Amino acid sequence: VMGLSYGFFWSNRDFLALDSTNDDNRNYYYGLETFFYTITGVGVPYLIGAFIGATEHNGWFGGEVNMAYRIITIAVFLITILASFVIFRGKFQNPENKPFLFFRFERLWNKLLGLAALKGIAQGYIVTAPAMLIMTLVGNEATLGTVQSVGAILSAILLYILGRVSLPKDRLPILAVGLVLFALGGFFNAWFYSSVGVVIFMLCLVLSRPLIDIAYFPIQFRVIDIVSKSEQRSEFTYILSHEFGLYIGRLFGCGLFLILANFVSETFALRYALLIIGILQLLAYVIARNIDRECSRR
C-alpha cells in the first residue's frame, strides 16, 4: 500500500510538473522543488521528535506524550487543508478524460522505458545499500541517521545550484558524470569492502544521485511532451507506463541481490552487487544520448 501511495504521489507530481513547466526551465524547477522537499524531509521528522521528547522531559501537557501526538496530528490536518487550498487556487488544467492504459507505444517512448528500467535497477540499492553497508562495516543506527541526513542536505544543495546554472544542453554531460561517480562508488566499495570503502561510496552516492536525477527527469518530461502529441494520448498514459518501467528495473535489481546473496554469499552480494549495477547503469548514457538526438530531430 505504501509503495502504491508513493507511486501515486509521484505520478501526480509529474503531471503538475508537465502542466506548469517547459523544457527550458525544468532543470531549475526540479532542483528547486527537490531542494525544499529534501530539507523538509530531514527537518520535519527532527522537529517532531524534538517536540515529543521535550513534552516528556519538560512536563508539557502534564508530561503526557499522547497529547503531543494529538497536537502533531491536528497540525498535520491543518497543514494538509492549507496545502489543498493553495493547490486549489493554482491555475492547473485538468487532463482530458481519455483512456490512459496502453501497452503499445512508439519507439521513442520504448527507449525511455529502457532508460527508466536502468534507473529503477539502482533505486532499490540507493535506499537499502547504504543502511546495510553502514550497519555491517561502520557503526550503528545513530551513524546511519547522521550520514543519511547530511547526505540528503548536501544533495539538496547541489540540486538547487545545478538547477540555477545548468541548461538543457548540459543534461547529457551531467548524466554522464553522475553515472560514472555511481560506478566509481561501487568499485571502491568492492575494492576496499571496509569502513573506508563505505565512506567513499557514500560520498560518490551523495554527488551522483542529484546529478543523475536533474538530468533524467527533464529528459523524461521532454519525451512525454513529444509522444503525447504524436500519439494523441493523455500525459497520464506515459506517467503510468513510466512507473511500470521503474518497477521492472527495481524487480531486476532486488532479484539480482537476492540471487547473489542466496547462491553465492551475503558478503559477495554486499560487496559486488553495487559494482555490477553501476556498470549496467552506464548504458543509460548511450540510451539518453540516442533519445536526445531523436527528440532534437522532431
**What is the full per-residue pLDDT of the chain (298 aa) written as tens digits?**
334 344 444 445 554 555 567 777 777 777 777 777 777 766 777 777 778 878 877 888 777 778 888 898 898 899 889 888 877 777 766 666 677 777 889 999 999 999 999 999 888 777 677 777 877 787 655 555 666 677 777 777 877 888 888 888 889 999 999 999 999 999 999 999 888 888 888 888 878 888 888 889 889 989 998 998 888 888 888 888 998 899 999 888 888 888 888 999 888 988 898 899 999 999 999 999 999 999 988 7
The Cα–Cα gap between 185 and 198 comes to 8
* pLDDT given at position 3: 40
Check residue 173 and give its pLDDT. 93
Q: What is the pLDDT of residue 145?
A: 60
State the greatest distance between any 2 C-alpha atoms of the chain, in Å, as a whole number.
69
Residues 110, 238 contacting (CB under 8 angstroms):
no
What pLDDT is attached to residue 254?
83
- The pLDDT value recorded for residue 232 is 85
Distance between CA atoms of residues 241 and 232, nearest Å: 15
pLDDT of residue 4: 39
Question: Grid coordinates in use for 98?
Answer: 481519455
What is the predicted pLDDT for the residue at 20? 62
For the entire predicted model, the pTM comes to 0.76
Cα 271 to Cα 28, 178, 185, distances in angstroms: 36, 21, 11
Q: Give 40-61 as a 3 state SS string.
A: HHHHHHHHHHHHHHHHHHHCHH
C-beta of residue 204 within 8 angstroms of C-beta of residue 184: yes
Kindly provide the b/e burial profile for residues 133-161, where b requires at least 16 CB atoms within 10 angstroms of the residue's own CB.
bbeebbeeeeebeebbeebbbebbebbbe
Grid coordinates given for 279: 556498470
Exposure pattern of 231-253 as b/e (b: 16+ CB <10 Å)? bebbbbbbbbbbbebbbbbbebb
Rounded Cα–Cα distance for residues 281 and 253 (Å): 11
pLDDT of residue 143: 59
The string of DSSP codes covering 141-186 is HHHHHHHHHHHHHHHHHHHHHHHHH--GGGHHHHHHHHHHHHHHHH
- Half-sphere exposure (Cβ direction) of 196: Cα atoms closer than 13 Å: 3
